[in-house]
Structure formats: C-alpha cells, structure tokens
Amino acid sequence: MRRLWILIALGVIGSAGLAWGHYPPGEFLFAVQFPDNALPSVDGNTSEWSVIPKIPYEVGNDKYSDAVYSRKRGEIDVSDLSVRQLVGWNNSNNRLYLMAEVFDNVHNTDREDPGQFWADDAWEIYINPTHDDAGDDQEKGIPYTLKQSFNFGLPPVGGNWGQNLPDFQWRVDPNNDDTWNIAWTFEGEEFGESTYFYEMWIQPLDFIPESGDRQESPETDLEEGQIIAMSWTFGDFDEPGTTYQGFWSTSPNGCCRADNDLVMSEMDDSIDWGESAVSSAVETDTWGRIKSQFSEK
C-alpha cells in the first residue's frame, strides 16, 4: 500500500482536467488487485475475500443512497437491509471480481414475469471502462455501446437470471465462461430473513458494436492506477406486487448509471494471500446440491 495514496493523489489531479462528470465529485472507490495464485473461485463462498481489509476496499452501508425515496447516504435501516461489497481485479486476465453480502429481513423472488428482475430483490452492476460517452465514433466507424449492465434477481425464476445490456446472445448466458459468470449461496431462510452471498467475475469490454460482433468487442486492458466508471445498486422488495422498499445505490443519481470512479489498485503488500490461494472450502458435491435446489424453482 506504499504507493496507493500516491495513486489517489494522481487520480485527483488527473480527474481535475477531465470532464468525466462522475459522482460523488472527488471520491474514489478501490478495486483490490488479486495476484495470479489467489484468484477467487466464483462459487458463492466468499471466504477468500476475508483477508482483504475494509479500508480502503469495502463499500458498506455508509456509501449507499436511495434516489427513489430521497434518502441520503448512510440512512439504510440495517434491520431491513444491510449490504457490503468488494471489487477486485487481476492484471493478467483483465477481469473484475465482485462479491456482495446482503442481509435482508425478507428475500423476495416471486415475480410473475420471469424477465422482470426489477420486481424482486435485485443486484445491479453498471460499468463503463473507458469513461467516454457512447455514440458513433469516427475512429471506430461504427455505432457502439460503452455502458454495460449486469442485473440479477436470484434465485432465477423460470430459468431467468435477470438481464444483460447490451443483450447479445454471447453475453446473456452465465455459463458460456466468456464475459461474465456468477454464483451465490445464502444463510437463513431462502425467501425470508437471510443473508445472500454473491460472487461474480466480469470481462470488461472497451465497447460493444451495434452489430454485437464478439470479435469486434475489444477486452479492456486493465492497469494499475486506471480509473473506470462503475456503480451498483441493491433493490429491496419486501412484499410482492408492491413498489421498492428501498433502492440503494453507490450512485447518488439513482438507477442504471455508471457514475462512481473505481481505481485499479496496486498490489497491496499488507494482504497475506496465503490462505486465500487455497481452493474454495465449498465441496463440489455440496455446491451441486445447492444449485439443484435452485434449478427446481
């Protein structure tokens, strides 16, 4: 961590000269850098993340506001919902890694339309790796999209996980092992008071052409000190058929935006990665039983 605060200072200086317009102004979130031999297994067991210090990496309840009900940062009623999230990255494979821990007094997943993930408790992630505005770039010569979203209402309903945008076929399958994958577990009542543990990796893309051609969608080359735009939201439904109980986002502007500045941190020499390099403690047969429970929903 000896150079981390230098990176912060450089980020502040650099951002002063760019009209990024990201929020909150002057604030940075940090993605921990995973060494190659300690990449998290995306299996819903978040124990590997326990070696990562809260400061500066954890994004807890004090960082979320609710634009739906005009509730300010830190006003989450933790008896109703309590959230924490960590983001990581790896220099070799250029992937982002995410974990989220969500306590909810009622976990609601019973939407009548399987495609309407937003009618249930949801985890929504929005990224824009290049900070640019989407449009028609003369250098690329094509219409394209920069902001990419990953929206989940879990467990799946009718086989539907949620929504990807852009929703090209090569992006919507969580098992194609191409640009993303996700897993989850829970403690407590599956559809009652519980804590859900989500894990995910994302292969960020500089842009996606309107044609949806995977070969023309360049993977983002992540580097130390790089700042990408990324925000996430936790939607909270306690009663079916009603509106949100809460819609808590790292973006003060609410839904569906990649507003926050996320720094790709240097390798943190204060972290002992020894134990986290060990394989996940969840045994294959146990995880298979967990997944089979969800497949019946």
In the chain the beta strands, taken as DSSP E runs, fall at 28-33, 65-66, 81-89, 96-104, 122-128, 135-137, 142-145, 148-157, 160-165, 180-188, 194-202, 208-209, 227-236, 246-249, 261-264
**pLDDT reported for residue 174:** 82
Distance, in Å, from the CA atom of 228 to the CA atom of 22, rounded to the nearest integer, reads 10
Tell me, what amino acid is at 189? E
Mean pLDDT, 10 residues at a time, the chain of 297 residues: 45 41 85 97 96 97 91 94 98 98 95 91 94 56 83 94 90 87 96 97 93 92 96 91 86 90 96 65 33 36
Kindly report the CATH number that applies to the domain delimited by 4-295.
Answer: 2.60.40.1190
**pLDDT reported for residue 190:** 95
**pLDDT reported for residue 52:** 98
- For the chain, the structural domain boundaries read 4-295
User: If you ran DSSP here, which 8-state letter would residue 270 be given?
Assistant: T
**pLDDT reported for residue 225:** 96
SS3 assignment, position 48: helix
Distance, in Å, from the CA atom of 296 to the CA atom of 185, rounded to the nearest integer, reads 15
**pLDDT reported for residue 10:** 45
pTM (predicted TM-score): 0.85
